[in-house]
Amino acid sequence: LNYRATSFLISAARFDQCPPATGREVAFAGRSNAGKSSALNALTGSNKLARTSKTPGRTQLINFFTINNGEHKLVDLPGYGFAKVPEAMKLEWQKELGTYLEERPNLVGVVLLVDIRHPLKEFDEMMIDWAITSGMPLHILLTKSDKLKFGAAKAALQKLRNQLRDHKDLITVQLFSSLNKVGIDELSAQLDHWYLA
Ligand code: GDP
């Protein structure tokens, strides 16, 4: 599919505001600052696609985009773990995220972005456990791989793959760098597999 022909559809503040679940849907998730906006921009070739609306305290929105002339959807889930947001808002958002992941009928896969220098924080572990229990395919991007020397990046990739080796059919891992444009083809191939298989 041509991920450069992605266009914004709608934002939802709550699960019940999600657009109709037509076509297939892939969601991008990650802790704040993991590099999600940069990765979406690198994938789609647009600088404006994932608006970096990360002002603390602002309503966190689930952003929907359409691909392939509206046939399928790509979803940008709000970054998790943003600082300075009231606890009640964090809990509210956690609930909406949980509902989205559990209830969205056309969700076929989740891309989890993890900063290669800070692998598997609590949120990441939670997403992995959820993927395993629900059987939802998960593709992990070890982002900002340019921050490590090539050997160290490869070692980090191998270590995580090894850690998840019992779930090879469900969970895949790759290196990614928006800065150096590393891993875009591999990500596109995974998305094609989910959207078209
Ligand atoms: P988000 O909060 O997950 O959407 O993260 P952003 O995409 O806004 O990126 C967070 C910070 O990491 C920004 O300062 C980016 O410039 C930086 N960043 C994102 N991707 C990369 C990358 O591939 N390499 C490097 N070196 N920095 C990156």
Is residue 2 one of the residues assigned to a domain? no
Q: Whose CA is nearest to atom 17 of ligand 1?
A: 35
Is residue 157 one of the residues assigned to a domain? yes
- The pLDDT score that the predictor gives to residue 91 is 82
Q: Give me the residues paired with residue 12 across strands.
A: 62
- Residue 146 identity: D
Is residue 79 one of the residues assigned to a domain? yes
* DSSP SS3 for 80: strand
Q: What's the whole-number mean pLDDT along residues 89-115?
A: 92
| Residues 11-56: tens digit of each pLDDT | 998 899 999 999 999 999 999 899 999 999 999 987 666 554 455 4
CA–CA dist 67, 130 (Å, integer) = 26
List the structure tokens of 33.
């600052």
Above 0.95 for ipTM, yes or no? yes
Domain that holds residue 72: 7-196
Ligand 1 site, CB within 6 A? 30, 32-38, 52, 54, 79, 143-144, 146-147, 177-179
Is residue 165 one of the residues assigned to a domain? yes
Cβ neighbour number for residue 99 with a 10 Å cutoff: 14
| pLDDT higher than threshold 80 for residue 152 | yes
What is the 34 CA–ligand 1 centroid distance (Å)?
Answer: 6
pTM of the model: 0.94
Q: Whose CA is nearest to atom 11 of ligand 1?
A: 33
CA distances from 127 to 102, 131, 134 (A): 12, 6, 10
Q: Whose CA is nearest to atom 12 of ligand 1?
A: 35
